Amino acid sequence: MCQYSAERGEATDWHMIHLGSLALSGAGMLFIEATAVEPDGRITPADLGLWDDVTENALRPVMAAIRKYSKIPVTMQLAHAGRKASSHAPWDGGQLISVADGGWMTHAPSAVPHKPEETPPLALDTTSLLRVKEAFAASARRAARLGIDGLELHCAHGYLLHQFLSPLSNQRTDEYGGSRENRMRYPLEIFDAVRAAFPDDKPVGVRVSATDWVEGGWDIEDTIAFAGELKKRGVDWVDVSSGGVSPLQKISLEPGYQVPFAKAVKEATGVTTVAVGLITEPKHAEEIIESGQADYVAIARGVLYDARWPWHAAAELGASVQAPPQYWRSQPREQKHLFGDITIGQR
């Protein structure tokens, strides 16, 4: 989840502490937060970025620390906020920052604001489309140099690539607007560019919003079509979330409320899917996997609340996790196999 704790896009001591802690969580994979591919693509001025040598080098010691003490695979989300950029952090209200107050002009598929009272974004022209595409590819190359194990292209939550997909935000009349095929064109071009820029033996997944939760918006049938096109291009997984493109969305929240979308995508396309959305209990997560509704479960808020969630899940489900030897003596006596077959000496 976004930490809104970077400086000029650069990782800080917070990222060392935060990601270092999660690297020891016992999870199967660690996702670095949505990382902007260019300064204008940041949600807030404090977003993490990976667009030049400075931002790349700021992440290098964080990755080195993780590699020294953990074997966890590390994946990074690559993102561009589009018209939802230039915003305050959530704890500062989360609203658009005007240019007069230190923000910047945002860019989007069309000059349609996220909220009616906001300044309309600038519609991306041909030159800007090429610039953003190259920014995604360049960030993918930088991630590879950092030793990142996988990438996830952020096409969800109302950010730029989702804005192209949704008819609510994409009102273009060129080859990137109108029909569903045209609206999918630019996100697919970005995927192709990222896939070509990242090592062939490392995976690239995509996060999607399965539905806009607004009548006339992007919906699950559109998502299935998009996932099918991604499958043809060799996508390694589709991470199925929802919403974010419109303040008019109406969502009924309950544990696992987005899991049916992951199930629908998996059944229709055969693509490896990741389920998300208020999944906080280990038995619930296990049931999702065992029943075949999704191939993986991603935990976000639950792990921010409990950085050892995977340990506790393994203990509850009778499984084991990897843990550094410095922590081996912490396992409860009744869970003596939590960290696998280990031997602890004591003088």
Q: What pTM did the predictor assign?
A: 0.95
Q: Of 4, 69, 159, 296, which is the active-site residue? A: 159
How far is C-alpha 324 from the geometric centre of its chain's CA atoms?
27
Q: DSSP letters of 243-290?
A: --S-TT------TTTTHHHHHHHHHHH---EEE-SS---HHHHHHHHH
CA distance 78 to 43: 12
pLDDT at 343: 65
- Through-space distance between the first and last CA atoms of the chain, rounded to whole angstroms: 43
Domains of the chain: 13-307 (3.20.20.70), 320-347 (no CATH)
Q: Which amino acid is at 306?
A: D
What is the residue whose two structure tokens read 């929802």? 242
Q: Digits of tens for pLDDT over the chain (347 positions)?
A: 999 999 999 999 999 999 999 999 999 999 999 999 999 999 999 999 999 999 999 999 999 999 999 999 999 999 999 999 999 999 999 999 999 999 999 999 999 999 999 999 999 999 999 999 999 999 999 999 999 999 999 999 999 999 999 999 999 999 999 999 999 999 999 999 999 999 999 999 999 999 999 999 999 999 999 999 999 999 999 999 999 999 999 998 999 999 999 999 999 999 999 999 999 999 999 999 999 999 999 999 999 999 999 999 999 999 999 999 999 888 888 888 898 876 666 66
Q: Give φ, ψ of 283 to 5 degrees.
A: -65, -35
Q: Is residue 329 classed exposed, middle or buried when 0-12, 13-18 and 19+ CB atoms within 10 A define those classes?
A: exposed
Catalytic residue check, 159: yes
